[in-house]
């Protein structure tokens, strides 16, 4: 993944360097993993505000796969009787966004 992100950045770096040399210092950075700078990554950033703990009171998302995550979020979107904040939050996301979050966090779980 690292190699891939560097390959992506390299042409940009040289192109910008030729135009605006002083900026070079700023962009001489390659991220560890470009997938962490995607829209899916930023959508999923909300979840860890509550779900980064051991799973007491609020479920841990570790070891949940993409399908489970998407299905649970989709359930929250449509369940009319719910009392948790998730019922109110999930309704703000499209199904495509829910799936993107599920896939992103599901892949993260596998990495760990």
Partner 1 sequence: MSEPGFPVDRRRLMAGIGALAGTNLLPLSAFAQTRARVIIIGGGFGGATAARMLRDLLPSARITLLEPNATYTACPFSNLVIGGTRSITDQHFSYDALSLSGITVIPEHATDVDPVARVVTCGDGRTLAYDRLILSPGIDFRWNAIEGYDAAAVDRMPHAWKAGPGTLRLRDQLLAMEDGGLVVMSVPAPPFRCPPGPYERASLIANYLKNHKPSSRLLILDSQDAFSKMPLFKEAWERHYPDHLEWRAASQDGRVICVDPSSLTLSTDFEDIRADVANVIPPQKAGEIAERAGVADATGWCPIDATSFESVLQPGIHVIGDATIAAPMPKSAFSANLQAKVCAIAVARLLSAMDAQPTVLANTCYSFITPDEAVSIAGVYSNAGGKFTNIDGAGGLSQLGAGADVRKAEAAQAEAWFGAITGEAFG
Supply angle C-alpha 3, 9, 10, rounded to 5.
85
Going from the C-alpha of 101 to that of each of 44, 48, 73, the distances in angstroms are 5, 12, 9
d(C-alpha 43, C-alpha 67), whole Å: 17
Q: Does position 18 bind partner 1 by CB under 8 A? A: yes
Q: Does position 46 bind partner 1 by CB under 8 A? A: yes
Q: Does position 58 bind partner 1 by CB under 8 A? A: yes
For partner 1, the binding residues (CB under 8 A) are 2-3, 6-7, 9-10, 12-14, 16-18, 21-22, 24-32, 36-39, 41-43, 45-46, 48-54, 56-58, 83-85, 88-93, 97
């Amino acid at each position: 993944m690292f190699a891939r992100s560097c390959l992506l950045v390299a042409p940009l770096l040289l192109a910008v360097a030729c135009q605006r040399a002083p900026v070079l210092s700023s962009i001489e950075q390659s991220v560890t993993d470009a997938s962490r700078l995607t829209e899916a990554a930023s959508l999923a950033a909300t979840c860890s505000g509550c779900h980064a703990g051991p799973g007491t009171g609020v479920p841990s998302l570790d070891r949940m796969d993409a399908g489970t995550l998407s299905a649970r979020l989709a359930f929250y979107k449509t369940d009319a009787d719910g009392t948790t904040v998730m019922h109110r939050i999930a309704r703000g996301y499209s199904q495509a966004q829910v799936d993107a979050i599920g896939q992103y966090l599901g892949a993260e779980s596998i990495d760990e």
